[in-house]
């Protein structure tokens, strides 16, 4: 027993010394490098575990990619604010610049598809540049995390409905631009709503037509409401911020019509009586302004259609604004109505060719007679025009344009001007 006690330490000592003598300088250097690599690995993982925003990484590990935390999550891996430097993990990459680059190329893909591209770039960069840190790469938890996040983000990128962002923070989705099947639509809609909420979309507008009208029941279930419908398209909307009242504007609620004062050289005014009417007074020719039509152009058109007389516009006399009332059926659909009175003059043959469909009578009536027999609110405007004419003033349009982004925005601005003396 004593012999073994004495020999054992010697044996151990001999073996240790003998092994140490067999290590070359290259082996020592290799062992040191391996220890450094392991130390870097430990620092990376410890740094993530101790980082104050480490909770951002948890969704990544479980295949979730929160929109608002994406840049922060990548910066946790490569912080630039005095935290431990992990340039070995993400060299030469600034994820914020990458996000901005992809967002500028295609704003509609700015969020999730841009993140997909960033993750893809980071993941493959990691595999090609950093695989010497961990052996084997497949067992590296960071590599696995990025791989999972990339795959999840890539799959989800193509399950978000295509939409056009507007300057008010809304997104417009047109059903004909999306090919989601009826079976896939509920999930795609939910992914889209989640994505839009996380990326700051405020109002969602769905323009649904054709075969995709089957979406409507799912949109209603998801909190959407009908906004309006025109021809074969229904528009549904939903306000997304939960802490704000809805900022979605109502569908246009005001009609715009024109009435016309046309006086010839004989001091006669062109007037009509309608077939469908509430009273039997003489009134100004006129009607509604068409889509894309200027007010004064509409006035000239309406006179031509109802009386056959060709005219040209002098300016605007004034307008009447009517709000809906419960006891009066006009304007329809609970809309308001603006009736703009336009001054015109004949430019040629004054022979009347009455429109059969809407007009029962049309005449050149002496101005004084119309002031006695005309519709009361029409005579108010006629008196206003006669007074303005005496003062040689009229509200006339003036062309104006201003820059709107890269485009020139054209408009007509109406204000008082000198009445053309040739109209007398």
pLDDT at 181: 63
Q: Looking at the structure, tell me whether residues 143 and 280 fall in a common domain.
A: no
Residue 371 shares a structural domain with residue 391: yes
* pLDDT at residue 336, rounded to an integer: 93
> 281 lies in a domain?
yes
What's the number of domains the chain is made of? 3
Whether 5 maps to a domain, the answer reads: no
Final residue of a structural domain among 157, 192, 222? 157
Residues sharing a CB contact under 8 Å with residue 215, sequence separation 6 or more, in sequence order: 175, 182, 185, 189, 206, 208
pLDDT given at position 114: 47
Tell me the mean pLDDT per 10 residues along the chain, length 424: 43 43 77 77 53 40 36 42 38 40 44 50 47 42 52 57 88 87 82 86 94 92 95 95 90 93 96 81 93 95 97 95 86 89 95 93 96 89 94 93 88 88 52
Predicted pLDDT at 199: 81
Q: What is the pLDDT of residue 120?
A: 52
Residue 9 lies in a domain: no
Residues 189 and 306 in one domain: no
Per-residue model confidence (pLDDT) at position 294: 95
Are 173 and 135 members of one domain? no
20 inside domain = no
Among 123, 157, 191, the domain-final residue is 157
CATH number at residue 307: 3.90.79.10
Dump pLDDT digits (tens) for 49-68: 554 444 433 333 333 333 33
Domain boundary among 157, 184, 201: 157
- Is residue 174 located within the same domain as residue 138? no
Q: Which helix (H) or strand (E) holds 268?
A: strand 268-274
Is 304 found in the same domain as 215?
Answer: no
61 and 133 in a single domain? The answer is yes
Residue 320: predicted pLDDT = 93
State how far the Cα of 168 lies from the Cα of 301, in Å rounded to an integer: 36
User: What is the pLDDT, as a whole number, of residue 156?
Assistant: 52
pLDDT at residue 147, rounded to an integer: 53
- CA atoms within 13 A of residue 306's CA, in its CB half-sphere: 29
Residue 152 sits in the same domain as residue 180 = no
Q: Could you report the per-residue pLDDT of 285-310, keeping only the tens digit for each?
A: 999 999 999 999 999 999 999 999 99
Distance, C-alpha 125 to centroid of its chain: 35
* DSSP letter for each residue of 306-335: HH---EEEEEEEEEEEE--BTTB--SGGG-
The answer to whether 259 and 378 are in contact (CB under 8 A) is yes
CATH number of 220's domain: 3.40.630.30
Residues spanned by the domain of 227: 164-239
Q: Looking at the domain assignment, is residue 19 inside a domain?
A: no
Do 260 and 190 lie in a common domain?
Answer: no
Answer yes or no: do 198 and 308 share one domain: no
pLDDT at residue 15 in the model: 41
In a domain, 419, yes or no: yes
Domain assignment of residue 308, yes or no:
yes
* Whether 180 and 311 share a structural domain: no
User: Would you state the structure tokens that stand for residue 181, as one six-digit string?
Assistant: 């099947």
Please state whether the predicted TM-score (pTM) of the whole model is above 0.85.
no
What pLDDT was estimated at residue 80? 43
283 and 233 share one domain: no
């Amino acid at each position: 027993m004593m012999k073994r006690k004495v020999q054992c330490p010697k044996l151990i000592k001999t073996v240790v010394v003998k092994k140490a003598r067999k290590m070359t300088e290259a082996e020592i250097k290799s062992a040191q490098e391996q220890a450094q690599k392991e130390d870097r690995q430990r620092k990376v993982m410890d740094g993530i575990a101790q980082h104050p925003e480490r909770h951002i990484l948890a969704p990544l590990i479980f295949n979730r990619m929160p929109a608002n935390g994406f840049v922060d999550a990548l910066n946790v891996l490569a912080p630039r604010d005095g935290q431990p430097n992990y340039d070995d993990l993400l060299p030469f990459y600034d994820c914020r610049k990458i996000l901005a680059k992809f967002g500028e190329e295609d704003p509609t893909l700015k969020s999730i598809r841009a993140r997909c591209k960033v993750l893809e770039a980071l993941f493959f960069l990691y595999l090609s540049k950093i695989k010497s840190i961990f052996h084997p790469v497949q067992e590296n938890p960071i590599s696995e995390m990025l791989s999972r996040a990339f795959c999840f983000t890539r799959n989800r990128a193509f399950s978000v409905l295509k939409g056009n962002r507007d300057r008010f923070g809304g997104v417009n989705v047109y059903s004909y631009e999306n090919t989601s099947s009826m079976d896939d639509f509920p999930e795609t809609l939910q992914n889209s709503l989640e994505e839009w909420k996380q990326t700051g979309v405020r109002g969602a507008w769905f323009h649904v037509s054709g075969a995709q009208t089957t979406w409507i029941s799912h949109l209603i279930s998801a909190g959407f409401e009908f906004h309006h419908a025109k021809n074969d398209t229904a528009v549904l909307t939903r306000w997304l911020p939960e802490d704000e009242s809805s900022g979605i504007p109502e569908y246009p609620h005001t009609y715009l019509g024109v009435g016309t004062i046309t006086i010839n050289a004989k001091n006669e005014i062109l007037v009509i009586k309608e077939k469908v009417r509430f009273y039997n007074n003489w009134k100004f020719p006129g009607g509604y302004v068409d889509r894309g039509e200027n007010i004064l152009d509409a006035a000239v058109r309406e006179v031509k259609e109802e009386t056959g007389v060709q005219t040209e516009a002098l300016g605007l006399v004034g307008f009447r604004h009517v709000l809906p009332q419960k006891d009066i059926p006009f304007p329809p659909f609970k809309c308001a109505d603006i009736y703009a009175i336009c001054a015109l003059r004949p430019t040629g043959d004054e022979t009347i060719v009455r429109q059969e469909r809407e007009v029962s009578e049309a005449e050149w009536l002496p101005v004084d007679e119309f002031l006695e027999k005309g519709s009361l609110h029409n005579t108010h405007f006629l008196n206003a025009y006669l007074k303005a004419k005496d003062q040689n003033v009229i509200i006339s349009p003036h062309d104006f344009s201003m820059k709107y982004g890269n485009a020139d925005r054209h408009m007509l601005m109406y204000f008082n001007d000198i009445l053309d003396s040739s109209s007398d």
